Every structure is written in structure tokens, then in C-alpha cells.
Amino acid sequence: MSPSRDILVDGVWRNNVVFSQMLSLCPALAVTSAATQGLGMGMATMAVLIASNMLVSLLRGLITDEVRIPAFVLIIATLVTIVDLAMNAWLHELHKVLGLFIPLIVVNCLILGRAESFACKNSVALSALDGLAMGAGFTFALTLMGALREIGGSGTLFSGASTLLGPAMGALEMRVYPGAGALVMILPAGGFIVLGLMIAAKRAMDARQASPRVQEASCHSPKPVAAAS
């Protein structure tokens, strides 16, 4: 596999932020009571992640190893604050809906994690691609969780999409079944339940794919590989 394809597959699925790396679980649990919000938070995070990855990669020659963490935090916080101000000024309607989530992006460990483990070692182009892939994976995870919780809890899907993403996206809004669903799905407990199920499903799929290799590896290694995957 070519390196760029590898980065894409890694970010979107194989090493998915939420389902595999288990990072950024706080926003994943907090904003996914509806699919639209998961989508909005995912896209805002992706934009910041691409920009911060590129910036960190660009400045990686300047940043010394010892102070890299505070320097990254500074870069990310500055970036998010500027995005917040700019959106409030020029994309006011979108900011009213997403405004609550934007400051949360600063403390999203996904951003710092990618700066530390990828962007500070790779070229600007690859870092941008990594940001795109990881961001897309995050968006995918949040939208999927939001969709499952919304269908289970409210009986709708993508409700409010037209206010968040413009009238054109109103076509996405639908009612899956009449009446309200199981309330627990929208409440925080529903977030944990859906997240747990999703992680279990991802691991089952990974294990199924890896099973021939695991047996082979376990002949040589003292510890079974499956436990570490």
C-alpha cells in the first residue's frame, strides 16, 4: 500500500480515533445525542486538525523537543480561538449552532495526539492528509454514534440538519418511525451503551480479519497477540 493510502485507511478505519485509539471520547459521548451534531462537531474538529497538523509540521524545525508539548498546546489554542472568532464574525448562523463545541476542540486530545505522533515528524502535505483522514474517521464515528442514538431515542435522523448545514441539507432530515423512542439513548447512558457496542463491533471485525495471522504469531511470541491488539 502506498503511504498516502495507508494514512487514509489508518485514519478513517483501521486506527479510528474513537473506536480504536479510544481518544476524544469526551466529545464523542457528549455531542452525539443527534446525528447532525455529531457531523457538525466532526467537521469543525477536522478543519482544526488539518490546520494544526500543517502548522505543527511547518514549524517542526523550530520547536525543540523539550518544549514541544507547551508549544503544540499554544499553537492549537491560538488556532481554535482564531477559528472561533472568525466564525462568529463571518459565519454567524453556523457559529450559533456550533459555537458551544468549538472551545471544546482545544481540549480534544486527538489534535494534540496527531501533532505529537505524526505532524512533528512528517512533511506538511502528509500531515495535512493525516489530519484529513483522522478528521474524517472522527466525523464518521461521531455521525454514526449520533445516528444510532437519534434513531433509538427520538425516532428521527439528521433532524435540524437544515439549520446547521444550510437549507440544501434539509433533504437529509427524516423520521424513521413515529413517536418518541427509548429516552435512555439520548441521555448520557445511551452514549456509553452505543460507544461500548461500537467498540465491541470494531474489535470483533478486527479479530476476524486478523485471526489467521494471530495464530501464526502466537507460535513465536510468548504473549498472545490478540490481547494486545
Partner 1 sequence: MSATDRPRAPATASLSARLIALLALAGGKHALVLGGFSLAATGLLAVAYGLTREPIEQSAREDLRRSLEQVIPASIHDNNPAADTVQLQLDGTPLLVYQARQAGHVTGVAFETSRKGYSGEIRLLLGIDERGKLLGVRVLKHTETPGLGDKIEVTRSDWITRFTGKSLGDPPDAQWAVKKDGGPFDQFAGATITPRAVVNGVRDGLRLFAAHRKTFLEEVSP
Positions that interact with partner 1 (CB under 8 A):
31, 33-34, 37, 62-64, 66-67, 70-71, 74-75, 77-78, 81-82, 85-86, 88-90, 92, 96, 100, 150, 153-154, 159-160, 163, 180, 183, 186-187
- Kindly tell me which of 182 and 204 has the beta carbon lying closer to partner 1: 182
> Shortest distance, CB of residue 64 to partner 1, whole angstroms?
5
- Kindly tell me which of 30 and 226 has the beta carbon lying closer to partner 1: 30
Cell 470483533 sits at which residue? 204
Task: Give CA separation, 130 vs 111, 117, 141, 156, 212, in Å.
Answer: 11, 11, 16, 33, 29
- Kindly tell me which of 78 and 123 has the beta carbon lying closer to partner 1: 78
* Contact partners, residue 137, CB within 8 Å, separation at least 6: 11, 12, 13, 15, 16, 17, 18
> Shortest distance, CB of residue 86 to partner 1, whole angstroms?
6
> Shortest distance, CB of residue 186 to partner 1, whole angstroms?
5
> Shortest distance, CB of residue 207 to partner 1, whole angstroms?
34
61's grid cell = 524545525
- Kindly tell me which of 97 and 217 has the beta carbon lying closer to partner 1: 97
- Which of 114, 9, 15, 96 has the alpha carbon at shortest distance from 60? 114
> Shortest distance, CB of residue 210 to partner 1, whole angstroms?
37
- Kindly tell me which of 96 and 121 has the beta carbon lying closer to partner 1: 96
Gap between the Cα atoms of 195 and 160, Å rounded: 23
- Residue 126 contacts residue 7 (beta carbons within 8 Å): yes
- Which of 42, 36, 10 has the alpha carbon at shortest distance from 24? 42
Helix (H, G, I), strand (E, B) or coil at 175: strand
